[in-house]
Amino acid sequence: MPGNDPKPLGIKLHKRSRELELEYAGGERYTLPCEYLRVYSPSAEVRGHGSGQETLQTGKMNVGISAINPVGRYALQLVFDDGHDTGLYSWDYLHELCTQQSRLWQNYLDRLEEAGANRDPDVQVMHFQP
């Protein structure tokens, strides 16, 4: 990217499809589902305070974004309709989420499966020992 500046030129929230669209210099355009942004929130509630302290987010399939607030010239605060609003998404972190979306999303799905958890808030997964 010119100047190596990861700040998007355009940001559009598509409430109906629950997606955030980011446009960068050079024509790069990414569409990130709100669920993806929520489960990868940079907040301490999600990431913990150190390696290995992450909290797996489950049941976030239908989450949306109700507000986007700029934080200085370096980040966005995304306010999710499930009440979560403590993560500050720096321009660098947002760009990483854009460029690493496939890998990060698969990692999340793998962690859900390992935990026997579900993306759907209306589905409870139970395992029984024979």
Above 50 in pLDDT, residue 3?
Answer: no
pLDDT tens digits, residue range 51-62? 778 999 999 999
Q: What is the mean pLDDT of the chain?
A: 91
* Residue span of the structural domain in which 55 resides: 2-115
Is 102 domain-assigned?
A: yes
Is 120 domain-assigned?
A: no
Is 125 domain-assigned?
A: no
The structural domain count of the chain equals 1
The proportion of the chain whose per-residue pLDDT surpasses 90, expressed as a percent, equals 78
Is 123 domain-assigned?
A: no
Higher pLDDT, 5 or 107: 107
Residue 11: is it exposed, middle or buried by C-beta count within 10 angstroms (0-12/13-18/19+)? middle
Is 19 domain-assigned?
A: yes
Is 129 domain-assigned?
A: no
Is 83 domain-assigned?
A: yes
Measured over the CA atoms of residue 85, residue 87, residue 90 and residue 93, the dihedral's sign is negative
CATH code of the domain in which 37 resides: 3.30.2020.30
pLDDT score, position 125: 56
Is 98 domain-assigned?
A: yes
pLDDT tens digits, residue range 64-112? 999 999 999 999 999 999 999 999 999 999 999 999 999 999 999 999 9
What is the value of pTM for the model shown? Answer: 0.89
